[in-house]
């Protein structure tokens, strides 16, 4: 789009193993459909067949984004999803797909990434911490917010995560 561009990256990280939350073996399987307990930044989240225990926004420097979801033009904003269980593992790997759309309030499409992990296996341990990064790189006009929609799915199973959140550019609201 001539008025702005968005950039999206999907990163799996498995360092800092103390950050991972492991599901207890004695928990009933039905908990996979229970709502996550630590969802911040007004992230709307729906899951099927996976347990997401946390979802929140981070700046690139690792600081938590305040509840107002403010970012600056050109500043990466990371969505962190902590997935406790549910991905289908084959030979120590999982095969995930991830898409993301960024839209203006009037429905103009800024970014539309269809599948960031096309044919890329992911280490099963790394697939517990997912990070999607969005950047509003420039503005052609002021908008009250940008709506970010995301979908992560298991290519070998039925697990999926659907969600959305709003991004606000510092100083752009009226």
Which pLDDT tens digit goes with each residue over 104-140? 999 999 999 998 777 788 999 999 999 999 989 888 8
pLDDT at 173: 54
pLDDT at 99: 94
pLDDT at 17: 30
With a cut of 70, which residues of the chain have pLDDT below it? 1-37, 172-174
Mind listing the pLDDT tens digit for each residue in 26-38?
Answer: 333 333 433 446 9
- For each of the domains in the chain, give its residue range(s) and CATH number, in order of start: 6-14+34-169 (2.60.40.770)
* Residues 163, 45 contacting (CB under 8 angstroms): yes
Write down the pTM of the prediction. Answer: 0.77
């Amino acid at each position: 789009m001539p008025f702005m561009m968005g950039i999206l990256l999907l990163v799996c990280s498995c360092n800092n193993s103390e950050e991972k939350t492991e599901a207890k073996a004695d928990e009933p399987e039905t908990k996979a459909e229970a709502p996550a307990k630590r969802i911040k930044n007004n992230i709307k989240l729906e899951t099927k067949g996976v347990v997401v225990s946390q979802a929140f926004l981070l700046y690139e420097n690792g600081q938590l984004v305040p509840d107002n979801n403010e970012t600056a033009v050109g500043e990466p904003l990371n969505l962190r999803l902590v997935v406790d269980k549910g991905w289908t593992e084959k030979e120590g790997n999982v095969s995930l797909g991830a898409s993301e759309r960024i839209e203006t309030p009037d429905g103009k499409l800024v970014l539309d990434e269809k599948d960031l992990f096309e044919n890329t296996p992911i280490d099963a341990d790394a697939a517990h911490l997912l990070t999607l990064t969005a950047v509003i790189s420039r503005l052609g006009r002021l908008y009250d917010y940008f709506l970010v929609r995301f979908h992560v799915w298991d290519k070998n199973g039925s697990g999926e995560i659907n969600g959305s959140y709003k991004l606000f550019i510092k100083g752009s609201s009226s």
